[in-house]
Amino acid sequence: MSTSLLNQGDSYETVYSNFKWNIPQKYNIAYDVCDRWADDKDRIALVYEDDQKNCNIFYFRDIQKYANQLANVFTGLGLKKGDVVTLLLGQDPECAIAHVACWKAGIISSPCSVLFASDAIKYRLNDCETKILITDEANYQKVSDMKKDCPSLEHIILTNTSTKEACNFWKLIENENSNFTNVVTKAEDVAWISYTSGTTGMPKGSVQPHRMMLGHMPSLEFIYDFFPKKREALWSPADWAWMAGLMDILMPGWFHGCKVVATAMKGFDAEDAYRILAQHEVTLALLTPTMLKLMKQVDAPLSKYSLKLRAVLSGGEAVGASLLEWAQKELKLMVHEGFGQTECNVILGNNGKLFPIKPGSLGKPTPGSIVKVINNDGVELAPGEEGHIACLRPDPVMLLEYLNKPEATKEKFIGDWLITGDLGHMDDEGYFWFHGRADDVITSSGYRIGPSEIEDALIKHKAVQIAAAIGVPDPIRTETIKAFIILSEGFEGNQQLEEELKNFVRQKLAKHEVPKEIEFVNSLPMTTTGKIMRKELRQKEMNS
């Protein structure tokens, strides 16, 4: 069956102008990514490679059976439509199954990265009023005593063990009925909540409706060079807790009934990435520029590994001419940059078959997305002029709102334009170019990191009076984190305290949010209203 949303064409203009949205009033993601493929008993959904490199194969019929059983568990525990289940898991089969089970039951899933420490997890659980938390043994110690601080949390389920307080995932579902009738959901009903880092306040819950699945597909079909083709297999090291892993790889792959490869890779190993791509015959991959830079350092990869890779999506930071040239020469393919964010994903991108890729550019608007550069009044700017990169609503790939934050939702828009927070310009040929962020989000190794969370963690230490965090340029990671600290009275800035503060942040936040460098200062540039002027700190770093 053809499930493509996009019609092929021989020019960008043809493909873009021939596409029209068709979003039904009632829609449930679970049917499209699971149920419609389950009758084909030989159709592989997931190949899971564990940390010993042993492989488990899950067919779509398996995913449907386990998701149905888990949906029955959820309803048996009293969960109802609109309740939230948080998934503190990596690229685990149980994570994928649980998303589908939630959607089947009309329940909201909320992915949470295993990189986070207790405080960050607790904040998210309370903000979305999670009823059930699903995690694994490795992360259980972070959450084992969290129920007393999370009034809504009723149950903790563990994927690979059990305790007195937490049930085992597989034991819970083994005797459940494997039939389940999907709850009828509207396209506008909430499917999942993804937390996104901003520059002010704590992370915001981006409320994502079921229609967002359909919203992603034309863009990804475009960037993955009109996928699906025969025997497609998708893989990325990107964590499924992030939009890139969940909605640029896992669910789009399943939407088209394709095999997705999941790996328990801890950290990124470039040599092992080639092995995974070759062994599992991966045709489509999402690899950040940082990953590609590391892969570039492996000598003559194609003499050791036979690749079937035909398209690579990259983003989160600039790809650049040298990476594009290397990929064409060494990997015999074009790297297609994509641009978007949790709230409005993949709205610009490249397809080298339809138009020449300009190194450093973000590409052109993907089919179905109306993207322009506008000023602060919402007026469209002429080519070459700098302004906000913005997307026009309604667009099915756009968030519903920020959870419990009406003001932040309002500030995300100028009229009907969703502001991405990035500044740039469009050139005469319709290509978009990134200049910098209108806010202070730090981009490091493909992660978008809000400085507020880092600063909030630092000031909890008795030695810290005021903290400011910025990104400083780095050739491999795009940016690394630097923190500026005004010390409390009686403390002296030295290397020992620097290491102590880094460890302090490491215990509270994720590894990628720990400052690489700390500078102790007597004062910080501030506005008259007392806001830290991070832009001045960045300028000072660039000039030093």
pTM for the full predicted model: 0.86
Question: CB 492: neighbour CB atoms within 10 A?
Answer: 9
Burial of 16 (0-12, 13-18, 19+ CB in 10 A): buried
For the chain, the C-alpha Rg in angstroms (whole number) is 23
- Does 28-209 match 442-543 in CATH topology? no
Whole-angstrom distance, CA of residue 388 vs CA of residue 214:
26
pLDDT of residue 528: 47
Q: For the structural domain made of 442-543, what CATH number should be given?
A: 3.30.300.30
Compute the Cα dihedral for 397, 263, 474, 312 and give only its sign.
Answer: negative
pLDDT at 450: 76
Backbone angles phi, psi at 272, to 5 degrees: -70, -30
Distance CA 47, CA 33 (A): 16
Look at residue 529 in the predicted model and tell me its pLDDT. Answer: 46
Domain definitions of the chain by residue range? 28-209, 442-543
pLDDT at position 443: 86
Q: Which residues contact 279 (CB under 8 A, 6 or more apart)?
A: none
Name the 3-class secondary structure at 512.
Answer: helix
User: Tokens 């995300």 sit at which residue?
Assistant: 412
Q: Rounded to the nearest 5 degrees, what angle is found at the Cα of 529, between the Cα atoms of 525 and 532?
A: 30
268 secondary structure, DSSP code: -
Contact 209, 100 (CB under 8 A): no
pLDDT by residue for the chain (544 residues), tens only, comes to 668 999 999 999 999 999 999 999 999 999 999 999 999 999 999 999 999 999 999 999 999 999 999 999 999 999 999 999 999 999 999 999 999 999 999 999 999 999 898 999 999 999 999 999 999 999 999 999 899 999 999 999 999 999 988 999 999 999 999 999 999 999 999 999 999 865 556 889 999 999 999 999 999 999 999 999 999 999 999 999 999 999 999 999 999 999 999 999 777 899 999 999 999 999 999 998 888 988 998 988 999 999 999 999 998 777 878 889 999 999 999 999 999 999 999 999 999 999 999 988 999 999 999 999 999 999 999 999 989 999 999 999 999 999 999 999 999 999 999 999 888 899 999 999 987 667 677 888 888 787 877 987 898 899 998 899 999 999 888 899 999 999 988 999 999 999 999 999 999 999 999 999 999 999 988 754 456 788 889 988 888 7
Q: Residue type for 173, please?
A: I
Who's near 541: CB < 8 A, 6+ residues apart?
470, 472, 482
What topology does CATH give the domain 28-209? Rossmann fold (3.40.50)
| CA neighbor of 188 nearest in space, from 413, 29, 75 | 29
- pLDDT at residue number 267: 79
Closest CA to 441 of 407, 409, 418, 469: 469
